[in-house]
């Protein structure tokens, strides 16, 4: 009679053996690498979405000033206002008090706006540097591909920048008013002499 082959089952490893430790290290390494890839990918997705929002709102200027950039950031921070109004209208219609419709979207919007508000008030929101002409030119040529997102120079703009800009604008307005008053005074005294 011929010999039958026995099913070779995989040997069970001792949990504290060198082979078991090696296998555990391999699995942990694979998990860390996969998790890192997912985290980088989600971070790039968020950055690409933000850059696309700014790209869609560019006009024909050759460069932007800090005031223009601050206005765009203010619009960016309030981009969900219309959607929030629509959700509020839906919730106000009807006699139901416990309306769970749009709850997940509302929670996501609130989380995003709170995070952006904290970011703006602390270290600053990272936006494309539109004050740099070369960067603005390259940004205009961008077609929305994620692999080029890392090529753009970014600038952090915070509340402190907004406050500085307000004081600079106020001082420029006051200087302009003083110059207008001086020129008006000079023209009235010149007309009095004639």
Which of these, 124, 190, 189, 130, lies nearest to 161 by C-alpha position? 124
* Mean of per-residue pLDDT scores for the chain: 85
pLDDT at site 52: 94
pTM of the model: 0.69
| Assigned domain for 160 exists | yes
Any idea what the CATH number is for the domain that residue 56 is in? Answer: 1.20.1440.170
Q: What is the DSSP letter of 102?
A: T
Distance, CA of 52 to CA of 139 (rounded, Å): 10
Distance, CA of 69 to CA of 173 (rounded, Å): 20
| Assigned domain for 44 exists | yes
| Assigned domain for 82 exists | yes
pLDDT at site 41: 87
Q: How confident is the model at residue 114 (pLDDT cuts 50, 70, 90)?
A: very high
Mean pLDDT for the stretch of residues 38-42: 90
Mean pLDDT for the stretch of residues 111-130: 92
Range with the poorest average pLDDT among 99-103, 126-130, 149-153? 99-103
pLDDT at site 89: 85
The model's pLDDT over 64-83, given as tens digits with 9 standing for 90+, comes to 988 899 999 999 999 999 99
Which residue segment(s) compose the domain that 95 sits in? 31-169
| Assigned domain for 4 exists | no
The model's pLDDT over 129-181, given as tens digits with 9 standing for 90+, comes to 999 999 999 999 999 888 888 889 999 999 898 888 888 877 877 777 777 76
pLDDT at site 79: 93
Q: Reduce the DSSP state of residue 79 to 3 states and report it.
A: coil
| Assigned domain for 9 exists | no
Total number of domains constituting the chain: 1
| Assigned domain for 75 exists | yes
| Assigned domain for 139 exists | yes
| Assigned domain for 20 exists | no
């Amino acid at each position: 009679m011929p010999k039958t082959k026995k099913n070779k089952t995989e040997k069970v490893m001792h949990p504290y053996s060198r082979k078991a430790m090696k296998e555990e290290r391999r699995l942990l390494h694979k998990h860390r690498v996969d998790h890192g890839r997912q985290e980088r990918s989600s971070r790039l997705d968020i950055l690409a979405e933000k850059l696309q929002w700014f790209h869609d709102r560019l006009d024909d200027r050759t460069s932007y000033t800090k005031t223009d950039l601050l206005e765009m950031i203010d619009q960016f921070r309030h981009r969900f206002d219309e959607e929030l109004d629509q959700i509020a209208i839906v919730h106000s219609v009807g006699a139901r008090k416990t309306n769970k419709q749009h709850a997940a979207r509302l929670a996501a919007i609130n989380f995003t706006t709170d995070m952006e508000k904290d970011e703006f008030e602390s270290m600053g929101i990272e936006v494309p540097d539109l004050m740099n002409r070369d960067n603005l030119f390259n940004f205009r040529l961008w077609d929305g591909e994620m692999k080029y997102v890392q090529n753009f120079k970014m600038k952090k703009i915070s509340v402190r920048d907004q406050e500085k800009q307000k004081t600079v604008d106020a001082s420029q307005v006051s200087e302009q008013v003083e110059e207008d008053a001086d020129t008006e005074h000079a023209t009235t005294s010149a007309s009095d002499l004639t």
